[in-house]
Amino acid sequence: MSEFTVEDLGRVLREAAGESEVAVGGDSLDTDFAEIGYDSIALLEAAGRIERQLGIQLDDETVGEATTPRLFLAVVNRQGSADAA
Amino acid sequence: MKSVVITGTGVTAPNGLGKDDFWDATRAGRTGIGPVGRFDATGYPSTLAGEVPGFVARDHLPSRLIPQTDHMTRLALVAADWALADAGIVPSEWPEFGIGVMTASSSGGFEFGQGELKNLWSKGGQYVSAYQSFAWFYAVNSGQISIRNGLRGPGGVLVSDQAGGLDAVAQARRQIRKGGGLVLAGGVDGSICPWGWVAQIAGGRLSTDPDPGRAYRPFAADAAGHVPGEGGALLVMEEEDAARARGARIYGRVAGYGSTFDPHPDTGREPGLRRAAEIALRDAALRPSDIDVVFADAAAIPDLDRVEAEAINALFGPGGVPVTAPQTMTGRLNSGAGPLALSTALYAMRDGLIPPTLTRDPSPAYGLDLVRDTREAAMSTALVLARGQGGFNSAMVVATAEAPVAAPA
């Protein structure tokens, strides 16, 4: 699987939950999702879309602990390579 | 008892988006009923609805709210914004727990739910939106209005079909009398989508007449059901003394309320509507002769029209009070009906105009003074009636701020 990037995450979040107050990108990698403007249900909805698009399974609890884009990307890419292995 | 007044109204109605468009259309007798536009209803037995015109959610609401809201919730959020603005209330200037939200709902977010059920059965559980967890829910409008505006006072939802809108306003009055502050109360409803449509058709009360001019004809001898609509109103309510202290414009006072539940039809006992109206009058410490106009429930089912006419005649005498049903221009709005009728009554009293009932060949046998053309009348009190399917009856008296306050009962 090719790497799931911060741009990919920004796009999925917009599709899942609408435009945020802060753009999801390189400058907001370590900004809290709450500050960016996405709550836990927005992230749950985004996680569901990522699972469908990439054909992977994400653990709800692990997703819930990923409070910034960097942490969220790490969960997706770790799971993506685990499922590919 | 503390007097509770209405200081703001926000309206989304099939014959007008916003209170001014709505009242202009209503006083002029312009209907909002027409062929269903939200989906192709041509293959269904009922094909007419009252749909809110010109509503583009993205023009009024942030992008974040769109994926998580049903159409009727979007209408409610906008009506709430307008009600607050109309009352001159900026929520951020109020204490965190100073403003509550009390709405009514009849079926929740049906259209949203239909989309997710379709995803579930056609694609699988992983395709169901996480927002389905609350977007369908009865309490969703109270919740979303509360979150959007930071209103953390008393909150709740009333579910009693078409009576619910008045019940929510009554519950708001109780909360204000107990704890002061402001409550945003009312109802905005609608389920004009295939799933909502078949549910309403199964309820057996929809008109199957395809002519918008006669489909919903309450108090006609051959009345044959109603046309459903979407929309409603939200009202800003507060203690009269507090409203006066902040220099608020007062539309009117919630003077009285009563609610009853019908006995089982097999018992042959009288349905509860008359009693609900009597309780509301007693609560307002008014006599029937003090009431200037009645806003009827207007079910347009002959048995129910008869029950309503008998209740009105028992209280006021045949032809003893002007009766109107402007919802003949919007369709029946379920939980949106009562709050929209209250708003209409307040505008009517302000402008001295009773809006008309657009029916066809009403039967004189009902003995009602049914207002069919806009009528000039000085009014300071109005009685609003609402019935919900399954036996709910509610009645509310509103009075102008100038009307004398009743002595405590």
Per-residue pLDDT of B270-318, as tens digits, reads: 999 999 999 999 999 999 999 999 999 999 999 999 999 999 999 999 9
Main-chain dihedrals φ then ψ at residue B354, nearest 5 degrees: -90, 120
Measured distance CA(B229)–CA(B52) in Å, rounded: 8
How big is the CA angle at B152 (ends B9 and B341), to the nearest 5 degrees? 20
Hey, are the CB atoms on A41 and B65 less than 8 Å from each other? no
- On whether both B205 and B318 belong to a single domain, the answer is no
Instruction: Give the domain-ending residue among B221, B245, B269.
Output: B245
Residue B405 lies in a domain: no
Q: What pLDDT is attached to residue B1?
A: 82
Q: Which of B148, B232, B234, B140 is nearest to B183 (CA)?
A: B234
Q: What pLDDT is attached to residue A60?
A: 85
Measured distance CA(B44)–CA(A17) in Å, rounded: 34
Instruction: Give the domain-ending residue among B245, B271, B292.
Output: B245
Mean pLDDT in residue range B184-197: 98
Question: Which residues of chain B are at the A interface, by a Cβ-Cβ cutoff of 8 Å?
Answer: 62-68, 126-127, 129-131, 133
The answer to whether residue A85 scores a pLDDT higher than 90 is no
- On whether both B135 and B189 belong to a single domain, the answer is yes
- On whether both B116 and B141 belong to a single domain, the answer is yes
Mean pLDDT in residue range B65-94: 98
Q: What pLDDT is attached to residue B6?
A: 98
Residue B386 is part of a domain; what is its CATH number? Answer: 3.40.47.10
Question: Which residues of chain A are at the B interface, by a Cβ-Cβ cutoff of 8 Å?
Answer: 14, 16-20, 37, 41-42, 44-45, 48, 51-52
Q: Which of A18, A48, A52 sits opposite B64 (nearest CB)?
A: A18
Burial letters for B73-106: b for 16+ Cβ neighbours within 10 Å, e otherwise? bbbbbbbbbbbbebbebebeebeeebbbbbbbbb
Q: Which of B62, B63, B130 sits opposite A48 (nearest CB)?
A: B130
Measured distance CA(A82)–CA(B372) in Å, rounded: 73
Express each pLDDT in B3-47 by its tens digit.
Answer: 999 999 999 999 999 999 999 999 999 999 999 999 999 999 999
Q: Which of A18, A48, A51 sits opposite B67 (nearest CB)?
A: A18
User: From residue B266, how far is each of A78, B163, B271 by CA, in Å?
Assistant: 67, 22, 11
Q: What pLDDT is attached to residue B94?
A: 96
- Nearest-Cα distance to chain B for A85, in Å, is 23
Contacts of A37 in chain B (CB under 8 A): 64
What is the residue range of B286's domain? 256-399
The band of B407, judged by pLDDT with boundaries at 50, 70 and 90, is low
Contact predicate B325/B360, CB 8 Å: no
Residue B348 lies in a domain: yes
- On whether both B34 and B135 belong to a single domain, the answer is yes
The answer to whether residue B172 scores a pLDDT higher than 70 is yes
- On whether both B132 and B172 belong to a single domain, the answer is yes
Domain count, chain B: 2
Residue B298 lies in a domain: yes
The answer to whether residue B409 scores a pLDDT higher than 80 is no
* Cβ burial, residue B356 (10 Å; 0-12/13-18/19+): buried
Residue B160 lies in a domain: yes
Q: Which of B285, B280, B264 is nearest to B342 (CA)?
A: B280
- On whether both B230 and B282 belong to a single domain, the answer is no
Ordered domains of chain A (ranges, CATH)? 6-84 (1.10.1200.10)
Q: What pLDDT is attached to residue B406?
A: 62
The band of B329, judged by pLDDT with boundaries at 50, 70 and 90, is very high
Mean pLDDT in residue range B158-185: 96
Contact predicate A76/A54, CB 8 Å: yes
- On whether both B145 and B293 belong to a single domain, the answer is no
Q: What pLDDT is attached to residue A1?
A: 62
Measured distance CA(B185)–CA(B171) in Å, rounded: 9
Residue of A nearest to B134 (CA): A41
The mean pLDDT of chain B is 97
The answer to whether residue B265 scores a pLDDT higher than 90 is no
What six digits make up the tokens of B263? Answer: 């006995």
Q: Which of B62, B66, B129 sits opposite A45 (nearest CB)?
A: B129
Express each pLDDT in B83-121 by its tens digit.
Answer: 999 999 999 999 999 999 999 999 999 999 999 999 999
Contacts of B65 in chain A (CB under 8 A): 18
